[in-house]
Structure 1
Amino acid sequence: MKKLMIPVLAATLMIGGCTTLDPYTQQEKTSQAAKGVGLGALGGAILGAAAAGKGDRNEGALAGALLGGAVGGGIGYYMDQQEMQLRHALEGTGVRVERMGDDIRLIMPGNITFPTGSDRVDPAFYPVLDSVGVVLKKFDRTQVAVEGFTDSTGSFELNQRLSENRALSVSRYLNSVGVSHLRLDSRGYGTRHPIASNDTAQGRAANRRVEIKIRGNRA
């Protein structure tokens, strides 16, 4: 078992020793690619050793770790690069960029995205969506879900319709700047899934938002 661990650790260190620089904090963090490499390398090493003959287990483990690490790191690296470019493009715009595993979420506050009570994108926000569109077109191996949310003020029906129309407006705009409609899906959730309390003005403002969820394809 100890002999088997040597090629596993060697392959993991060779492939997975990578970090990315967070443009907001200027601190290094372990990239999703590195995490995927490590898991892929471990799984590949075990399978490689099992498939090899008794005398070739170390060689089989090393080859399996290298192959597994490359596969495991692929989608993570792709999304790391996309996240980095989105963070740079959206810095200072008021749009928050969050990373969830191999997915990226853009949170767009309603007060900068739409005029009050309207489902038409504020023209002042066009340049921000243009920047998002540029990155999405470059990284075209992703699916894009546009989701609308409201606060609890007003009727359920009104909020549901407003959230659906706002999500659709953002989706149509992204399509108009070159993002394929086959990648886009829009949905409205009305008052569901609040991220803050609706009992305060600040909380209601946070709940009025559009989110763009970018999911990486492993194929």
Structure 2
Amino acid sequence: MLIQLKRVSLVVAAAAIVAGCQTTNPYTGEQEVNKTSTYGGIGALTGAVIGGLVDGGEGALKGAAIGGAAGAGYGYYTDQQEAALRQELQGTGVQLQREGDNLKLIMPSNITFDSNKSDIKSSFYPVLGSVAKVFKEYDKNLIEVVGYTDSTGGDKINLPLSEDRARSVASYLMNQGISGSRITSFGAGASNPIGDNKTKEGRAMNRRVEINLRPAPQK
């Protein structure tokens, strides 16, 4: 019994160490937790606990191995997709953020649309085409396109404009071969500002289109 407890403790400790691994982001130079290691560590920990309850120490070791591989699966997938997007988006002005399993692309209006227009700038087509290429290669996401404006003009102007801009981006992605079943789009007007609408710089930040990538429901 004592030997089994020691083996379980070693597995749990190893999983915790793996989950805490950090790497340096090659694009920002910042230290960040490696997502694949985190998912794998959590999976290993869960597998160890379940396996240990079912089959003692041997079950814990087997459960850790199986759980770690399964847990790292989507995390590894998202790591690869994130890296591919960052490579395509370097120097374009498009921001990429990640929260857990979700990725967000923030596209400021100064590079995507002319003032008060919803037609995509011709100069932005290559960038959006590169994004579409990654979306086709990594097709396990749902794609949500959201248009935003600053607070000037009122909802009667802002909501239709934000909807039209989101629709333009969604239509372009579909024309590039992305399945329409993966894509939703809507306009949010001046809601969810990311800058101060009292300043010119803040209003420019708020005029944007965001693309949210979320895991597709498992069938």
Query: Normalization by structure 1: what TM-score?
Result: 0.91
1:46 counterpart = 2:49: yes
Q: Measure, in 2, the Cα distance between the counterparts of 1:174 and 1:21.
A: 32
Kindly tell me the number of residue pairs found equivalent between the two proteins.
214
* Percentage of matched positions with identical amino acids: 47
- Alignment correspondent of 1:83: 82
1:3 counterpart = 2:11: no
Contact 2:149 2:189 in 1 (8 A): yes
1:98 counterpart = 2:102: no
- Alignment correspondent of 2:189: 190
Contact 1:149 1:191 in 2 (8 A): yes
Letter in structure 2 aligned against 1:4:
V
SS of the residue 2:190 aligns to: coil
Contact 1:31 1:77 in 2 (8 A): no
Letter in structure 2 aligned against 1:39:
I
CA drift at 1:138: 0.2
Q: Measure, in 2, the Cα distance between the counterparts of 1:162 and 1:79.
A: 32
Contact 1:16 1:69 in 2 (8 A): no
Q: 1:207 to 1:80 in 2, by over 3 A?
A: same
Structure 1 spans left out of the alignment, 5+ residues:
none
Cα deviations by residue, 1:177-200 (Å, 9 ceiling, x for unpaired):
111111101011001000011001
Structure 2 spans left out of the alignment, 5+ residues:
none
Q: Measure, in 1, the Cα distance between the counterparts of 2:170 and 2:33.
A: 32
Q: What are the within-5 Å matches in structure 2 for residues 103-182 of structure 1?
A: 103-182=102-181
Contact 1:114 1:120 in 2 (8 A): yes
Contact 1:18 1:34 in 2 (8 A): yes
Q: Measure, in 1, the Cα distance between the counterparts of 2:32 and 2:194.
A: 26
Q: Measure, in 2, the Cα distance between the counterparts of 1:157 and 1:5.
A: 62
SS of the residue 1:98 aligns to: strand
The worse-fitting range, judged by mean Cα deviation, of 200-209 and 65-74 is 65-74
Contact 2:142 2:182 in 1 (8 A): yes
Q: Measure, in 2, the Cα distance between the counterparts of 1:58 and 1:218.
A: 34
Q: Measure, in 2, the Cα distance between the counterparts of 1:205 and 1:108.
A: 11
CA drift at 1:24: 1.6
SS of the residue 2:196 aligns to: coil
Q: Pick the aligned partner of 2:40 from 21, 37, 53.
A: 37
Q: Measure, in 2, the Cα distance between the counterparts of 1:18 and 1:89.
A: 26
CA drift at 1:108: 0.2
Contact 2:102 2:214 in 1 (8 A): yes
Cα deviations by residue, 1:49-82 (Å, 9 ceiling, x for unpaired):
1111xxxx11100111111111111111100000
Q: Measure, in 2, the Cα distance between the counterparts of 1:181 and 1:211.
A: 17
Letter in structure 1 aligned against 2:7:
K
**What is the root-mean-square deviation of aligned Cα atoms in Å?**
1.9
Q: Measure, in 1, the Cα distance between the counterparts of 2:40 and 2:182.
A: 27
